[in-house]
Amino acid sequence: MKNYYKTAIILSFFGLWLTSFISIENQIFSGFSLILSFGILHGGNDIMIVKNILLQKRAYSFLQILSFYIGIISICSFLFYLIPALILFLFILISGYHFGEQQLRFLNNHKNKVIVQSIQLLHGLLILFFLFEFHCKQVRDIIFDITSVEITPNYIKYSLYGILTLFSVGYIYLFLNLKKLTKTLFKELFFLLVFVIIFKVSSLIWGFTIYFILWHSLPSIIDQITFLYGDYSKLNFIKYIKAAALYWFISLIGLAVFYFFLNDIKHFNAMFFVFLASITFPHVVVIFAMVKK
């Protein structure tokens, strides 16, 4: 993964360089296209991962797992309609933990799970709230479109300050207690600085796309391929793509249905994030189980 992250840094700044030549509209289109490809693809083998974990005990059939997975997505979509503010809040929390857990995976062997998971949560929330703060107006508009709740700019700003303070305390704890990982901890702080630059310079969708694809989705795909097939290789990557193709196609159909019923391009950003949230909830649970396995 060391060589991968070097490539990710180069591609991240290449993505920023492209913003000088691509209009905001094309950045949004390109961002959505990448999220719909690699972004959704990285959750495309959740069913296979669950099958790999559970069916060894022959406790559930594949059809039962698939039905349960689709059921969770349907319930999440319905709850977004019923209690959007609460579900959006939970989505931000769960996404924060998911991003932080992926980024700070090297901490999973630490004996104090509560501290590790708290720092992973804070790390992921810090990434999200830096993005929110630099694009406060757009984020507030999206939140209003989803929940009909209007939040103030200070709410995002002070939330960021609070998360940053708690994260700093947690990171100081890691430096004091995990001295063998000092170099790795500094590297993650450098990556965090890279994310801040990306979010500050780019548009909301393009900045999120750079992080989500290069720093989350692709590393997650590498981890999943290693879990499913024993190691990462081009052949196993092709196997992964083939296995995920059906789920990816179904997800695109689901998004099309969302858009058909909404039929309003003005609120597409809000609808798109509701769609992502609905498929993210079960994905986070699956990856959490994979990590424990």
Query: What are the tens digits of pLDDT across the range 97-154?
Result: 989 998 998 887 777 788 899 999 999 999 999 999 999 999 998 888 888 888 998 9
Q: Concatenated DSSP letters for 91-149?
A: HHHHHHHHHHHHHTGGGTTSS-HHHHHHHHHHHHHHHHHHHHHHTHHHHHHHHHHHHS-
Q: Give just the sign of the alpha carbon dihedral 118, 121, 125, 127.
A: positive
* CA–CA distance, 227 with 284 (Å, rounded to integer): 16
How far the first Cα of the chain sits from its last, in Å, is 20
Cβ atoms 27, 205 nearer than 8 A: yes
Q: Give just the sign of the alpha carbon dihedral 161, 88, 33, 51.
A: positive
Q: What's the pTM?
A: 0.87
Q: What is the pLDDT of residues 38-88, one digit of tens each?
A: 777 777 777 777 777 655 555 666 676 677 777 777 787 778 778 888 888
Percent with pLDDT over 70 in the chain: 88
pLDDT at 240: 85
Tokens describing residue 292? 């424990």
Place of tokens 């991962």: 49
Q: Provide the 8-state DSSP code for 56.
A: G
> Can you tell me whether residue 152 is helix, strand or coil?
coil
Distances (CA, A) of 227 to 61, 188, 293: 20, 24, 9
Query: Domain limits of the chain?
Result: 2-292
pLDDT at 245: 78
